Structure 1
Amino acid sequence: MTKDSVAKDSVREEPADSGTASPGPTSTQSIADATPPSAEEIAPLLECLLLMAEEPLEPVVLAEAAGAPVPLVEQTLRELADRYTMSGRGFQLRQLGGAWGYATRPEYHDRIAAWVRAGGQNRLSQAAMETLSVIAYLQPVPRSRVSAVRGVTVDAVVRTLIARGLVEERGTDDHSGAGLLVTTSYFLGRLGLNSLSELPDIAPLLPDASALEAELSNLADRTGSESGVMEQASADEENQS
């Protein structure tokens, strides 16, 4: 065997170096990594979110926080609600107006209300304090207007205030027929007041309640007027075209 033939054989035995990197994850692996979580995986997270929330949460909000599809979140919420009922828990997970939240079971409401009124839970949350203040200074006021002033839904907070005997519904609005919220004599007693006229003036820290109400009305009127002008201008352009 000659030196040339040995050299050729050595060249053939060396592996070819293409200069390319090893192949990465396949498309099948990528799809597997993007697989949505299961109901068992997101159930604990949904419980945490609902416990932290001061208001019931809609499935789309929970889905965004959990990184899961809305149908899966809705299915998990229903399963959790059934699980609490089957296990005889003192609380329930229920859906109200499309939103989900925790609540005590009706059979315990009387005992809980008595405990709350007796001072078993003296501290109000920040949301409850703000809502109570709006009702106190704008009463009698429908729930929708309280929500408009605060910028959030106040249904759950109002239920808490009613359960504590601080607020009640009395009468209805002449235009909408909605119930009107007012404070109670218990509210006055807790503050040591004889009448609502003794409520401290919120000025100069905040505008007077009537001034605030007038400003909100003016803002609504301006918004409606601007919308009407824009619609009229758009209609004129269409007619000219």
Structure 2
Amino acid sequence: MATRRVSDEPAYILHSYDWSESSLILEAFTRHHGRVALVAKGAKKPTSNFRPVLLPLQPLRVAYGVTGGGQGDIHPLRGAEWTGGHVMPTGDALLAGLYLNELLMRLLAREDPHADLFDVYAGVVRVLGGGQHGDALEPVLRAFELLLLRAIGVLPALDVETATLAPLSPRNHYTLVAEGGLRLAAGDDRSSLTGAQWQALQQALDEGPGAAAYPAVLRVGAEAGADLKRQLRVLLQYHCGAPLLRTRQLMMDLQSL
């Protein structure tokens, strides 16, 4: 069976599993091929060239072989090179990066390319590794969440009521329901956004795919603040399914200490 080679592919490691005493199975997010599974033979050996390279939240160029159709298979990793640019995030930034990795693991189908989303992710990781995020960490996460939901096709239009397609009233409050999209908020719903805020988010998303829309989505999302966080949290967990995201549970546990 013919084997083709993917070379010089931009990638990030999302997660790794032990495969044997000396090898690892990697979940990688690649720019042109989406989420792929790779086997790194001998990667756990002290002498392996892979050992210091295959880390999460680090920009890589990888090469791997694909046999046959390649869909859903585990591909043999042939090479991996760190491309540099930033150090490993620490503290809250590290936890945020692992949270993004878990979202990608849960929500992206294998071998489904999302080049625009990859570019957004790479930009976010640079911010996390740069140590200059400060109070911008939460808006950065909200912007990525919105663009991820749009990329996988589960984010409804944010400028109309989903059930009726009626335009939003700028002064009314609306809530984002996992199974029903945007609807008029109940009087006791404290996490809703105004129609004007939802419309602003849609306008930001309409500025282009992926990285083109990111600055506008970041700005508008920052203005929406904690209310947007609560809205997206429910939607993301619904599409991720059970159990609760492990990184989110860890954040909750740390906050309770």
TM superposition score normalised by structure 1: 0.25
Q: Which has the higher contact order (CA 8 A, sep 6+)?
A: 2
TM-score (norm 2): 0.24
| Structure number having the greater strand percentage | 2
Computing the radius of gyration from Cα coordinates, the structure with the larger value is 1
The structure where helix makes up a greater share of residues is 1
